[in-house]
């Protein structure tokens, strides 16, 4: 992609109406645009990052047997009355044609349960797991942290259906492992901790995945030996590490990037969703739900990986793999390299602009934060100046070496 053609504009300064550093950076660098508090539009750079995050999540959900579906945001009142959640604070309620009461989905247990009920009848139909990556709506009272807390935001929500508790427990563990892989692929594994939270009526614990971050909204209590934590709501009942009994838990700030929960029969009972077992007896379906916020994960990455110059994306989610910057008067040499990189299938943003100064181009590149920076200039002859965002070392490399590095 040529930068002269890219649909974006960077701002000279940080926007004044943003509090979170991630939102300041993402807006200033031309990733997202604020329509109103808690509601953002994704520009090409932003959508690329979001889609990379969502693709990683999708692959790991498919790997644990999740089947992708897509459920509607627009929903009838009746399903929310069945579960007693029509009056919940964050639910956006609206009137449809004919004065019909509608809601915008903040989560999808109310749609997925009756949907599965049309498909699952017997133990032979179980287990099943379905997920979607979709836009959610919540009327959050405080939406001041950019993508970290949206009123309209992206969520991956997986739901699983089982014949008994044991089967749910086994699947829950598989999903835990899938989540660990996702944090690793997003570059968040070293700072994301499995956090014990209360489990409701059906199981002792649920789990949140909390990314350690000094500006995070949540407070957790970390066991530095096990790298797990206890959340604030649970800490009065669970004062020691649930894994090793360690009494010394350290208070930390964090951002919740995921949340997994054993729902048991809560929703299957509400919809009277049963299956017939091997003895032809009716039994309630046992459910699990597993949430993860791709747009919040994107905000989290920008919140934790930055310096005073801009964002530092982990390679797997960088909007482009490389940022090629031409500082020569004649664009020809850089253009040749650009064409070579494209031919090799390397995703590159090419700063081909003639009306921008060298200083402007380099500081914009730091702000945008693409992982690999390539500079073609008069200074370097037929070599290319290579630098990785966030690192100091600059290397001179040939075309061939660059291609080898980036392929
Ligand atoms: P929180 O406690 O932060 O409000 P939650 O417990 O309500 O989150 P869930 O209902 O479990 O969140 O949603 C699953 C995931 O969706 C969360 O782990 C988070 O990653 C994401 N998420 C939830 N609310 C928002 C929001 N307002 N904006 C962006 N992402 C969100
Ligand atoms: Mg929570």
- DSSP per residue over 19-74, as a string? -SHHHHHHHHTTSEEEEETTEEEE-HHHHHHHHHHHHHHHHHHHHTT-EE----SE
Write phi, then psi, for 212 (nearest 5 degrees).
-65, 130
pLDDT at 199: 93
Q: Per-residue pLDDT tens for 197-234?
A: 999 888 899 999 999 999 999 999 999 999 999 999 99
Cβ(149) – ligand 1 distance below 6 Å? yes
For ligand 1, pick from 104, 155, 300 the residue to mutate: most ligand atoms within 8 Å of CB. Answer: 155
Average pLDDT of span 35-41: 98
Q: What percent of the chain has pLDDT over 90?
A: 98
Q: What percent of the chain has pLDDT over 70?
A: 100
**Length of the chain as a residue count:** 407
Spatial CA neighbour of 334 closest among 318, 355, 348: 348
* Distance from the alpha carbon of residue 146 to the mean position of ligand 1, in angstroms: 13
Q: Is residue 381 over pLDDT 90?
A: no
Measured from the CA of 155, which atom of ligand 1 is nearest? 16
* Distance from the alpha carbon of residue 259 to the mean position of ligand 2, in angstroms: 7
Cα 171 to Cα 114: distance, rounded to the nearest angstrom: 21
pLDDT at 257: 98
Measured from the CA of 138, which atom of ligand 1 is nearest? 27
CB–CB of 285/275 below 8 Å?
Answer: yes
pLDDT band of residue 103 (cuts 50, 70, 90) is very high
CB–CB of 167/161 below 8 Å?
Answer: no
pLDDT band of residue 289 (cuts 50, 70, 90) is very high
* Distance from the alpha carbon of residue 24 to the mean position of ligand 1, in angstroms: 21
Measured from the CA of 261, which atom of ligand 1 is nearest? 11
For ligand 1, pick from 92, 293, 301 the residue to mutate: most ligand atoms within 8 Å of CB. Answer: 293
Residue closest via CA to ligand 1's atom 16 equals 293
Domains located in the chain, CATH noted = 8-307 (3.30.930.10), 320-406 (3.40.50.800)
Cα 153 to Cα 54: distance, rounded to the nearest angstrom: 13
Cβ(154) – ligand 1 distance below 6 Å? no
pLDDT at 201: 83
CB–CB of 321/372 below 8 Å?
Answer: yes
Cα 184 to Cα 209: distance, rounded to the nearest angstrom: 13
Q: Which two tokens stand for residue 401?
A: 């070496």
pLDDT band of residue 269 (cuts 50, 70, 90) is very high
Q: Per-residue pLDDT tens for 9-37?
A: 999 999 999 999 999 999 999 999 999 99
């Amino acid at each position: 992609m040529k930068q002269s053609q890219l649909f974006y504009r960077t701002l000279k300064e940080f926007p004044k109406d943003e509090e979170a550093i991630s939102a300041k950076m993402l807006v200033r660098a031309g990733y997202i645009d604020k329509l109103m508090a808690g509601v953002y539009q994704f520009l090409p750079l932003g959508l690329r990052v979001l889609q990379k995050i969502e693709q990683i999540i999708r692959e790991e959900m498919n790997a644990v047997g999740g089947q992708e579906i897509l459920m509607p945001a627009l929903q009838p009142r009746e399903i929310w009355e069945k579960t007693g959640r029509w009056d919940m604070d964050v639910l956006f309620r609206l009137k449809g044609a004919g004065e019909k009461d509608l809601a915008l989905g903040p989560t999808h247990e109310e749609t997925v349960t009756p949907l599965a009920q049309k498909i699952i009848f017997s133990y032979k139909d179980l287990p099943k797991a379905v997920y979607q990556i979709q836009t959610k709506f919540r009327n959050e009272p405080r939406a001041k942290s950019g993508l970290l807390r949206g009123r309209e935001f992206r969520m991956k929500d997986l739901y699983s259906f089982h014949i008994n508790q044991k089967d749910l427990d086994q699947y829950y563990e598989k999903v835990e492992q899938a989540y660990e892989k996702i944090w690793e692929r997003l570059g968040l594994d070293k700072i994301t901790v499995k956090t014990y939270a209360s489990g409701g009526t059906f199981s002792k614990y649920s789990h949140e995945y909390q990314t350690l971050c000094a500006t995070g909204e949540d407070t957790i209590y970390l066991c530095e030996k096990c790298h797990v934590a206890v959340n604030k709501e649970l800490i009065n009942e669970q004062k020691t590490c649930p894994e090793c009994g360690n009494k010394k838990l350290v208070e930390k700030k964090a951002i919740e990037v995921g949340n997994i929960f054993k729902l048991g029969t809560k929703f299957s009972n509400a919809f009277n969703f049963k299956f017939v077992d091997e003895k032809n007896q009716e039994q309630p379906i046992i459910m699990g739900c597993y949430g993860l916020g791709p747009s919040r994960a994107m905000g989290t990455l920008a919140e934790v990986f930055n310096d005073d110059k801009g964002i530092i994306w982990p390679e797997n989610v960088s909007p482009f793999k490389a940022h090629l910057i031409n500082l020569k008067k004649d664009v020809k040499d850089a253009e040749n390299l650009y064409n070579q990189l494209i031919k090799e299938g390397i995703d590159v943003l090419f700063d081909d602009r003639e009306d921008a100064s060298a200083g402007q181009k380099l500081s914009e590149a730091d702000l945008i934060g693409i992982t690999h920076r390539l500079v073609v200039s008069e200074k370097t002859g037929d070599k290319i100046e290579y630098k990785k965002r966030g690192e100091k070392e600059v290397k001179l490399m040939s075309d061939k070496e660059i291609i080898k590095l980036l392929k």
